[in-house]
C-alpha cells in the first residue's frame, strides 16, 4: 500500500480574550480593548469585533453631561443646569451637585417626566414646564432612583423608606405621609430604587429588598415580597442599569468585597470573574458611571471608575469582559445612553457637551481613529520545548486600507521586553508575518489602528517543534 503524506494542520493562537489580570491592575496578562467577542452558535467560530464608533448628533451644548432619556419619542438631555428637548433648551435651572440624573415617567390625564439626582426630584410636562417636587412625604435625605408601578410614583431615601405620591398618576402631590414603607429586613441605609417586572427593588448598603403592589387600602400600596431578599446591597447608585428588564449593579455585603451582580426575574447571580474582582478590590468608587447598550444581538453593561481611568464592559450574550477606551487610551467618557427610533443609539459625553450616535458604520470616534488592542494569553503549545515559528497567517476580514501592528513578548508580559511592532496589510488575500523566531512561551499584542471596520478570527501558526 502506498504511503500517503500528511500535512500538519497549523496551530491557531487562542484569541478568545477574557480579562485575566493576575493583580489588581491590567498591566499583565490577556485583555481586549475596544472590542468584543462574538461566537457563531452553529459553527463554533469565534471572532473579535471592533467596537462601534461615535459620531456627533445635533449641536454642541454647554456643560457637563448629566443624563439622557427618550420620553414619548423625544430625546431629553441635561447639560450643566439646563435640560434640552431635542436640542432645544427648556426654561428652568437644575441642580448640578448630584451628578447624572435618573429618569422615570408617569401616565394619567397629564403624562409627566420625572428625574432626580439624589438631591432634587423634578417633574416636567409641556404646560407646567420643569417643577421641583415638594411635599411632606418626600425623603429628607433622598437618593437616586424613581420607580413607577400601577399609577404610583415612588422615591427612596437614605432612611430606607419608600415614599409614594398621594394621588394616582399625579407625582406633583406628596402630602400623604402614611404612604411609606420601610426596607428594614436589615438595618442598612437606602442607596437607590429600581423596578423589575411588577416589583419595586429597594437597594440598601448591604442587602436588597423586593416589594409588590399589595393594594392596601391605607398607607403605602406596597408590601414586602416574603423570601425575596437578596444578600447583596449596592455599592454605588450610579452603577445600576437595566437591559430588557435585567438589572446590573456593583454589589457588596458585609462579608465580601465588590462584585458585579445581575438580577433576572428576581434571581441574583454574580457575573464578575476572579480577574474582574481583583480590579474591583482596589477600585475607587468616588465617581462611577455606567451605561447599557443593545447592539447587533449583544447586550452590554458598561461600568466606569473615573479615578482609576478604566471602563469595564460586560457582554451578557457571550459572558465575556472587555475594556473600552477613548481615542487616547483613557476611560470611555460616556455617562448615559438612550435609544431613538430615528437616530438609533445615542450616548452622552461626560464633559464636552455632545451627544453621539453609536454604530458599526462609524469606524472612528467623532473623526478620530481609536485603537483595538488585543493582548493574548501566554501560549506554549502544550509543551515547554522550544518552538520555531517560520510563518504566521492572520485570519481576518480582507478590507482595503485595514492593517495590523503585531509585536510579541517571550518574557511573561515584562514591559521592557516587547519586540517592535511589525505591520500586516489586511487588504491582502493571505496576510502574514514570516521569520518569527523561536520561543518557549509567547504572548502577542495585536493592534488595529485604522479607519476601517475590523474582524479577527485567529493567528494561524506554522510551528516546528524543537528537541529541547
Do the bridges between strand 387-396 and strand 438-439 make them parallel or antiparallel, or are there none, so unpaired? antiparallel
Mean pLDDT value of segment 39-55: 93
Q: Comparing C-alpha atoms, which of 117, 127, 106 is closest to residue 81?
A: 117
Annotate 241-290 with DSSP letters as a single string: EEETTEEEEEEEETTEEEEEEEEETTEEEE---HHHHHHHHT---SSEEE
204, 188 in Cβ contact below 8 A? yes
Given a cut of 50, is residue 33 above it in pLDDT?
yes
pLDDT of residue 8: 58
**What's the CATH superfamily of 11-52+373-465?**
Galactose-binding domain-like (2.60.120.260)
422, 433 in Cβ contact below 8 A? yes
Q: Which grid cell is 376? A: 493574548
Phi, psi of 263 (to 5 degrees): -120, 120
359-416 confidence digits (pLDDT tens): 989 999 999 999 999 999 999 888 889 999 999 999 999 999 999 999 999 999 999 9
Domains 11-52+373-465 and 53-273+340-362 share a fold: no
95-138 confidence digits (pLDDT tens): 999 999 999 999 999 999 999 999 999 999 999 999 999 999 99
Phi, psi of 331 (to 5 degrees): -55, 155
251, 260 in Cβ contact below 8 A? yes
**Domain assignments of the chain as residue spans, ordered by start:** 11-52+373-465, 53-273+340-362
CATH 3.90.1150.10 matches 53-273+340-362: no
Residues written for the chain: 468
Predicted TM-score of the model (pTM): 0.94
Amino acid at each position: 500500500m502506498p504511503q500517503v503524506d500528511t500535512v500538519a494542520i497549523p496551530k491557531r493562537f487562542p484569541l478568545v480574550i477574557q480579562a485575566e489580570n493576575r493583580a489588581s491592575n491590567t498591566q499583565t496578562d490577556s485583555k481586549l480593548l475596544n472590542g468584543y467577542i462574538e461566537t457563531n452558535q452553529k459553527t463554533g467560530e469565534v471572532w473579535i469585533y471592533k467596537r462601534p464608533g461615535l459620531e456627533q448628533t445635533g449641536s454642541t451644548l454647554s456643560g457637563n453631561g448629566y443624563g439622557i432619556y427618550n420620553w414619548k419619542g423625544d430625546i431629553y438631555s441635561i447639560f450643566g443646569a439646563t435640560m434640552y428637548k431635542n436640542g432645544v433648551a427648556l426654561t428652568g435651572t437644575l441642580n448640578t451637585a448630584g451628578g447624572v440624573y435618573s429618569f422615570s415617567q408617569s401616565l394619567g390625564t397629564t403624562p409627566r417626566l420625572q428625574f432626580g439626582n439624589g438631591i432634587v426630584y423634578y417633574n416636567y410636562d409641556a404646560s407646567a414646564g420643569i417643577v421641583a417636587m415638594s411635599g411632606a412625604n418626600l425623603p429628607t435625605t433622598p437618593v437616586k432612583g424613581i420607580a413607577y408601578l400601577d399609577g404610583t410614583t415612588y422615591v427612596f431615601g437614605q432612611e430606607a423608606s419608600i415614599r409614594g405620591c398621594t394621588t394616582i398618576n399625579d407625582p406633583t402631590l406628596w402630602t400623604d405621609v402614611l404612604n411609606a414603607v420601610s426596607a428594614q429586613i436589615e438595618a442598612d441605609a437606602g442607596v437607590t430604587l429600581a423596578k423589575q417586572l411588577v416589583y419595586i427593588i429597594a437597594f440598601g448598603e448591604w442587602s436588597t429588598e423586593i416589594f409588590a403592589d399589595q393594594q392596601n387600602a391605607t398607607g403605602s400600596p406596597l408590601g414586602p415580597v416574603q423570601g425575596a431578599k437578596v444578600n447583596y446591597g449596592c455599592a454605588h447608585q450610579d452603577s445600576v442599569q437595566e437591559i430588557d428588564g435585567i438589572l446590573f449593579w456593583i454589589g457588596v455585603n458585609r462579608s465580601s468585597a465588590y462584585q458585579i451582580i445581575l438580577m433576572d426575574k428576581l434571581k441574583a447571580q454574580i457575573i464578575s470573574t476572579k480577574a474582574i474582582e481583583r480590579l474591583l478590590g482596589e477600585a475607587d468608587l468616588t465617581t462611577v458611571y455606567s451605561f447599557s447598550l443593545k447592539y447587533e444581538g449583544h447586550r452590554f453593561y458598561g461600568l466606569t471608575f473615573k479615578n482609576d481611568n478604566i471602563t469595564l464592559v460586560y457582554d451578557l450574550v457571550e459572558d465575556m469582559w472587555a475594556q473600552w477606551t477613548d481615542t487616547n487610551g483613557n476611560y470611555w467618557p460616556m455617562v448615559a445612553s438612550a435609544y431613538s427610533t430615528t437616530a438609533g443609539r445615542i450616548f452622552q459625553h461626560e464633559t464636552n457637551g455632545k451627544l453621539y450616535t453609536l454604530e458599526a458604520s462609524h469606524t472612528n470616534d467623532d473623526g478620530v481613529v481609536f485603537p483595538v488592542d488585543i493582548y493574548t494569553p501566554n501560549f506554549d503549545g502544550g509543551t515547554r520545548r522550544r518552538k520555531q515559528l517560520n510563518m504566521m497567517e492572520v485570519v481576518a476580514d480582507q478590507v482595503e486600507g485595514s492593517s495590523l501592528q503585531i509585536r510579541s513578548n517571550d518574557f511573561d508580559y515584562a514591559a521592557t521586553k516587547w519586540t517592535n511592532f511589525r505591520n500586516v496589510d489586511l487588504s491582502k488575500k493571505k496576510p502574514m508575518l514570516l521569520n518569527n523566531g523561536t520561543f518557549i512561551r509567547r504572548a502577542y499584542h495585536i493592534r488595529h489602528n485604522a479607519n476601517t471596520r475590523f474582524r479577527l478570527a485567529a493567528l494561524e501558526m506554522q510551528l516546528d517543534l524543537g528537541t529541547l
